[in-house]
């Protein structure tokens, strides 16, 4: 082995990048004066590509693997450097390692509400946020269009631009979909898929692919959510008058434990029922169309004892006729539901008027 061969083997280098970060997309391999020894070993690990650049021009791109850098596997760079016949001296070139793994759990969201017109609520302001992933699909294009000559290019340097583009396309997609605000939650997956397809052409020129774009939440303004909660509560309550009576009845045992509480509960019961009676018709969609007529007044019916036998029941009109005919007198026993026992008709307040209108007995002739 000659002297030059011995020196040449001692100068062989290893060109590689061990990524110790989680956010680096492009890393420039640092060399003194950018000199790389001919025959150096290039190690490109999984989820990496190595891009050789000479005087600002993209040269050869290497996928994962181990390579010996010679004119045979550097055809583009050999042309740029003017190598024709196996030139074996050190050469100058910049080597950029591009991370091709998926960068996951990246956030996007609206800085300002999106204005749109909803079929049910009218004009609305909506906010939305979610996550996405990205990866480099064309390393040379990324360096050419975005990374440039940066020694280290991170995800953070491009996420702001991606986020703005996602929000812009999301606003368009939401407006075109015309999905009601209350139905958006059932369409998050469809919106994410649609948005991914719509936004990808914007990133193709940069060599970047947006993946797994997800819509996690679309929310209404707080004041609208508050009104919606109140509307939902009214739907849960249903019959407002029955609900008020139920609440008041539950409060009576607690009020009875305090001095004067039962009396207060009685007042509250009257007020609650009265208010419910006023509010409930107003809450109805069309009070005039849905109101039912009040029930017909019910007249009292009495049983009459005649000759030791129970007869009836008779309504007031029939009892009046019996008084006029003399078959029912003040001494006749009567009874109705709710009376503790049979009582003389003349002692029942409800029947007093019947005897006032009765004619006097005929004189004995």
Angle 44-48-53 (CA atoms, 0-180°, nearest 5)? 75
Helix (H) or strand (E) holding 26: strand 24-29
State the Cα–Cα distance between residues 322 and 159, nearest whole angstrom: 99
The yes-or-no verdict on residue 167 having pLDDT over 50 is yes
Mean pLDDT, range 352-364, rounded to an integer = 69
Mean pLDDT, range 43-47, rounded to an integer = 93
> In percent, how much of the chain has pLDDT > 70?
72
Where residue 8 falls among pLDDT bands split at 50, 70, 90?
very low
Mind listing the pLDDT tens digit for each residue in 242-287? 667 666 777 766 666 665 554 554 545 455 555 555 545 554 555 5
Mean pLDDT, range 66-88, rounded to an integer = 69
Where residue 134 falls among pLDDT bands split at 50, 70, 90?
very high
Mean pLDDT, range 34-49, rounded to an integer = 87
pLDDT at position 86 is: 54
Supply the mean pLDDT for the chain: 78
The yes-or-no verdict on residue 7 having pLDDT over 60 is no
Q: If DSSP codes are grouped into helix, strand and coil, which group holds residue 344? A: strand
Please tell me which of 27-41, 224-238, 297-311, 337-351 the model is most confident about, judged by mean pLDDT.
337-351
Mean pLDDT, range 5-16, rounded to an integer = 60
Where residue 98 falls among pLDDT bands split at 50, 70, 90?
very high
For residue 214, what are the β-bridge partners? 131
pLDDT at position 291 is: 57
Where residue 181 falls among pLDDT bands split at 50, 70, 90?
confident
Mind listing the pLDDT tens digit for each residue in 213-242? 999 988 887 777 777 777 666 666 656 666
The yes-or-no verdict on residue 51 having pLDDT over 90 is yes
The yes-or-no verdict on residue 9 having pLDDT over 50 is no
pTM of the complete model = 0.56
Instruction: Look at 145 and 234; give whichever has higher pLDDT.
Output: 145
Alpha-helix residue ranges (DSSP H) falling in the chain? 3-10, 75-81, 139-142, 156-177, 188-203, 222-237, 240-256, 261-283, 287-290, 316-325, 352-356
Domains of the chain, each with CATH number or no CATH: 3-99 (no CATH), 103-223 (3.30.479.30), 302-356 (3.30.1490)
Q: What is the dihedral of CA 337, 341, 346, 349, to 10 degrees?
A: -50
Asked whether the beta carbons of 330 and 365 are under 8 A apart, the reply is no
């Amino acid at each position: 082995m000659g002297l030059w061969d011995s020196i040449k083997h001692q100068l062989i280098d290893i060109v590689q990048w061990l990524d110790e970060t989680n956010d680096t997309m492009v890393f420039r391999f640092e060399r003194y004066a950018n000199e790389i020894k001919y025959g150096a070993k290039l190690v490109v690990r999984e989820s990496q590509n190595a891009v050789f650049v000479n005087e600002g021009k993209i040269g050869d791109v290497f996928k994962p693997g181990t390579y010996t850098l010679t004119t045979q596997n550097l055809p583009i760079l050999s042309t740029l450097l003017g190598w024709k016949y196996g030139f074996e001296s050190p050469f100058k070139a910049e080597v950029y390692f591009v991370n091709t793994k998926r960068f996951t759990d990246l956030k996007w969201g609206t800085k300002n509400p999106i204005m749109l017109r909803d079929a049910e609520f009218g004009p609305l302001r909506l906010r939305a946020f979610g996550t996405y992933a990205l990866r480099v699909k064309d390393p040379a294009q990324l360096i050419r269009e975005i990374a440039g000559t940066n020694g280290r290019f991170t995800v953070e340097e491009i996420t702001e631009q991606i986020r703005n583009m996602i929000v812009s396309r999301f606003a368009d997609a939401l407006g075109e979909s015309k999905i009601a605000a209350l139905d958006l939650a059932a369409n998050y997956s469809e919106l994410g898929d649609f948005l991914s397809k719509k936004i990808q052409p914007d990133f193709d020129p940069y060599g970047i692919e947006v993946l797994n774009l997800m819509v996690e939440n679309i929310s209404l303004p707080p004041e609208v959510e508050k009104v919606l909660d109140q509307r939902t509560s009214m739907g849960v309550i249903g019959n407002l008058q029955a609900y008020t009576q139920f609440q008041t009845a539950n409060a009576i045992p607690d009020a009875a434990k305090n001095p004067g509480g039962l009396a207060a509960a009685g007042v509250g019961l009257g007020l609650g029922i009265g208010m419910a009676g006023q509010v409930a018709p107003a809450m109805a969609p069309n009070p005039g169309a849905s109101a039912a007529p009040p029930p017909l007044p019910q007249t009292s019916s009495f049983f009459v004892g005649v000759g030791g036998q129970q007869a009836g029941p008779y309504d007031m009109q029939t009892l009046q006729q019996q008084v006029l005919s003399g078959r029912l007198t003040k001494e006749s026993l009567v009874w109705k539901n709710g009376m503790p026992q049979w009582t003389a008709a003349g002692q029942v307040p409800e029947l007093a008027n019947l005897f006032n209108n009765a004619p006097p007995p005929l004189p004995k002739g």
